[in-house]
Amino acid sequence: MSKVITAVPTAPSKNQTIKATLKATKARRTQQRCRVFELKLDRSHLNQHTHAQLQRLFLEAKWLYNHILSQPNVCDMDYKLAEVPVKVKDRFELRELRHLSSHMKQSLIRRTIDNIKGLAHLKAKGHAIGRLNYKSEVKSIPLKQYGNTYKILNDKCIKIQGIAQHLRVNGLAQIPADSELANATLIQRHGDYFVAITTYQARKHTPPPSKTVGIDFGIKTQLTLSDGIAIQYAIPISTKLRKLHQQLSRCQYRSKNWYKALHKLEKAYVKVTNIKKDVRNKLVHYLHTRYGVVCYQDEHVKAWQRLWGRKILSTGIGGIIRTLEEKVHTPIQVDRWFPSTKTCSRCGNIRDIELDERLYVCPVCGLVMDRDHNSSVNIENEGLTQLLPTGRRDVKPVETESSTVTSLEYLNGIPYVTASSVSEAGSLTASA
């Protein structure tokens, strides 16, 4: 009599379980929205020992990074090493890694390998690249595992592996409670410390708006919309920045006072940059929530910088164009050589127009219109021709008037932004 042998299913190994979990997590996160919160550590609550620990942490990260680059095979690096050689003048000394945890070392090694692979990928495509250079300072340390490398204790404090003190962080309450927390990055910038926390949230599928708009970018009026709204803003270089430049030039190079003045100057520039980012994000958010299709021209911003350097620097138009490509529902870029300023938006006649002419006067149909508004309408018509052969959708005058009032109220509430209706300025229509 033959025996029946039944196969007993074996339990999956630990590596198989980890791989399956990672695969499921990756599949889930592709359906979610990724958002990064960069929060500032409150230095006023750091004791002297913790401040020294943070400084030592970034110093050890620099030692480890330079040691990684000196190895012939980076992939064979051991993340459990306890000391690394550091070059001091003409000799090497062994320095102990007291504060970098194994997870931090592993993340730094992994990030360096990814950077090398990225350079190799660019080289394979034919780009002229160099090699990774040794660094005088490392400004970011990956915290790859929530609950181990770092942990959020409450809406005010976090815990970082290897640091005994609970670190007070400003802005933790803005992270939604239903967010899935992923990795983070500890950042050192101009003497301050930040934590960039990556979160994943459920996507909210909202239908895009039905409205369309064309945008004309300019020097005098930064944005002119095809529905008759002109937006102006500028964040010029302040007197404080000039004084800080003078103070830095009077200090001895690389002295303590020179570094102090440099940090003050960097912080002042960061403040100006943050204001520009705030204005840019609010303007793009307005366009994203109000219009489904945004048409704009491929402007040669670098050429503008050569002619009007400070004006372009104070507005950051290039950043708005780049953000539009990423954020709006349907961005349509019109060719750079399309004659949007020379073309009549009513009859299509093309004529030359000088830079000092603020009104477009058509000799064929008699249209008199603000030149930027005329250009934005042409950009919208040309962009919608690429999308829909039927052309642009006409908006009712009542709808345009009511929506313009609401838009002006919102845009004028943004700091440093002045918005007006082109028709209010008397240049939408004018008598011959």
Q: Encode pLDDT of 174-195 as tens digits.
A: 999 889 999 999 999 888 999 9
Least confident of 51-55, 137-141, 284-288, 326-330: 326-330
User: Residue 181's closest CA among 160, 157, 197, 161?
Assistant: 197
Task: Tell me if the pTM is above 0.85.
Answer: no
Based on the number of CB atoms within 10 Å of its own CB, is 185 exposed (0-12), middle (13-18) or buried (19 or more)? buried
Contacts (Cβ under 8 Å, ≥6 apart) of 34: 198, 199, 200
Residue 399 has pLDDT above 70, yes or no: no
For residues 268 and 371, membership in a common domain is answered with yes
Question: Once rounded to an integer, what is the mean pLDDT over residues 384-392?
Answer: 67
Residue 62 has pLDDT above 80, yes or no: yes
For residues 249 and 391, membership in a common domain is answered with yes
> C-alpha distances in angstroms, 227 versus 124, 294, 420?
47, 12, 11
Give the pairing type, strands 157-160 and 150-152.
antiparallel
Q: From start to end of 8-81, where are the E strands?
A: 32-41
> Between residues 144 and 394, which one has the greater pLDDT?
144
Which pLDDT score, from 0 to 100, does residue 427 have? 43
For residues 155 and 219, membership in a common domain is answered with no
For residues 171 and 312, membership in a common domain is answered with no
Q: Encode pLDDT of 300-341 as tens digits.
A: 877 787 777 777 878 888 888 889 988 899 999 999 999 999
Mean pLDDT, the chain, rounded, equals 87
Asked if residue 10 belongs to a domain, the reply is no
Q: Which domain holds residue 167?
A: 32-202
First-to-final CA distance of the chain: 111
Contacts (Cβ under 8 Å, ≥6 apart) of 69: 112, 132, 133, 134
Asked if residue 6 belongs to a domain, the reply is no
Question: Once rounded to an integer, what is the mean pLDDT over residues 25-33?
Answer: 83
State how far the Cα of 193 lies from the Cα of 183, in Å rounded to an integer.
17
Question: How many domains does the structure of the chain reveal?
Answer: 2
Q: Encode pLDDT of 343-372 as tens digits.
A: 998 898 999 888 888 899 999 888 899 999
The last residue of one of the domains, among 148, 170, 202, is: 202
User: Residue 97's closest CA among 77, 76, 72, 117?
Assistant: 77
State how far the Cα of 187 lies from the Cα of 194, in Å rounded to an integer.
5
> Between residues 77 and 388, which one has the greater pLDDT?
77
For residues 264 and 178, membership in a common domain is answered with no
Percent of the chain with pLDDT strictly greater than 70: 92
User: Residue 143's closest CA among 176, 100, 85?
Assistant: 100
Residues in the chain: 432
Asked if residue 93 belongs to a domain, the reply is yes
For residues 224 and 158, membership in a common domain is answered with no
Contacts (Cβ under 8 Å, ≥6 apart) of 360: 341, 344, 353, 367, 368, 369, 370, 371, 374
Contact 354, 370 (CB under 8 A): no
Tokens of 426: 């008397």
State how far the Cα of 54 lies from the Cα of 213, in Å rounded to an integer.
49
